[in-house]
Amino acid sequence: MFDRLKFLGKIKECGKTVQEVASFLGINPATLYRKMNGESDFYREEIQKLKEFLNLKDPMEIFFAEKVTETQKAG
């Protein structure tokens, strides 16, 4: 599951904007927002590009984050 907050934090940490990220990927900002909101998926190539553009050490934390339920927290 995509972690929108970590992604936005990394964008800000790198001094970038969502518009700059969309432009770098060659997509419309509205398309990037759809991906960020879970309405569309990121392609593998996009994740690979973003790994370098945003200096992501572990893209798994953002693009394949595990959602922890209350039951999992208690166990």
| pLDDT interval class at 6 (50, 70, 90) | very high
How sure is the predictor about 65, in pLDDT bands with cuts at 50, 70 and 90? confident
Mean of all residue pLDDT scores within the chain: 90
CATH number of 43's domain: 1.10.260
Q: Yes or no: say if 70 and 41 are a contact pair by the CB < 8 Å rule.
A: no
Amino acid of residue 67: K
Q: pLDDT value at position 75?
A: 52
Question: ∠34-40-45 over CA atoms, to 5°?
Answer: 105
pLDDT at 35: 96
In this prediction, residues 49-56 reach a mean pLDDT of 96
pLDDT at 11 over 70: yes
Encoded tokens for 55? 């200096």
Query: Domain range for residue 30?
Result: 4-74
Count of domains observed in the chain: 1
